[in-house]
Amino acid sequence: MRIAIIGIGNVGSALARGFVRAGHQVVLGVRNAGDAKVSSLAQNTNAEVNSPSGAAASADVIVLALPWTAAEEAVRSLGNLKGKIVIDCMNPLAMRNGVLGLDRGFDTSGAEALANWIPDARIVKTLNQVGAELMADNSDLPHRPVMFMASNDAEAKAAVSALLTGLGFEALDAGDLTKARLLEPYGMVWINQALFRGQGRDWAFAAVKRT
């Protein structure tokens, strides 16, 4: 698969490494191709570099790894995304009275806002439930970490499921895109444990069941 990564901070750069290791072709969609961190990542992963819209146009799958506050403007400027599979790993984070939380929930989600901005794209909410470090490499964990997906598009979900498997996750189908209303607070459970409950960043959720 040819995968465009828009935003190459913690998550985007981790996923670039993980996807390249899994055998995919990665193109980094960046605002400033001259940035040293861009050339270093491109060199380490053999990824191509392009503008965000150029990268998106050239790829089968587009990963949005942008800060929520920058997302709408950045996503609307990506151009025509008709038929493209878009992986939304963003959590709609916001500070409320000095406490980190989500800026929406219960009856909508960040992923559903995204669907309004790019209605022709095939959005899959996933990869928002674990820290970036374990997206790049989780092979040393004692259990396979789980990663839920929500999407209205069964074919897109199947393609993303295969990508998640390649990254070392057990991909589980959470249902349609409205289930992002569950997955975004679930991402907050990870954040709360990692940042505020002393768990640190090197852990993930796993699904275990009686056989």
Which residues lie near ligand NAP (CB under 6 A)? 6-12, 31-32, 52, 65-68, 70, 74, 89-91, 93, 128, 131-132
Name the minimum Å distance from CB 54 to ligand NAP: 12
| CB of 39 or CB of 155, closer to ligand NAP | 39
| CB of 155 or CB of 197, closer to ligand NAP | 197
Rounded to 5 degrees, φ, ψ at 207 are: -100, 125
Name the minimum Å distance from CB 187 to ligand NAP: 6
| CB of 24 or CB of 184, closer to ligand NAP | 184
Determine the Cα–Cα distance for residues 48 and 107; give it in Å rounded to an integer: 39
CB 20 within 8 A of CB 47: yes
CA distances 141 to 23, 27, 155, Å, are 21, 28, 29
Name the minimum Å distance from CB 35 to ligand NAP: 7
Helix/strand/coil percent split, the chain, to 5: 40, 20, 40
The structure tokens listed for 195 are: 């940042």
| CB of 154 or CB of 172, closer to ligand NAP | 172
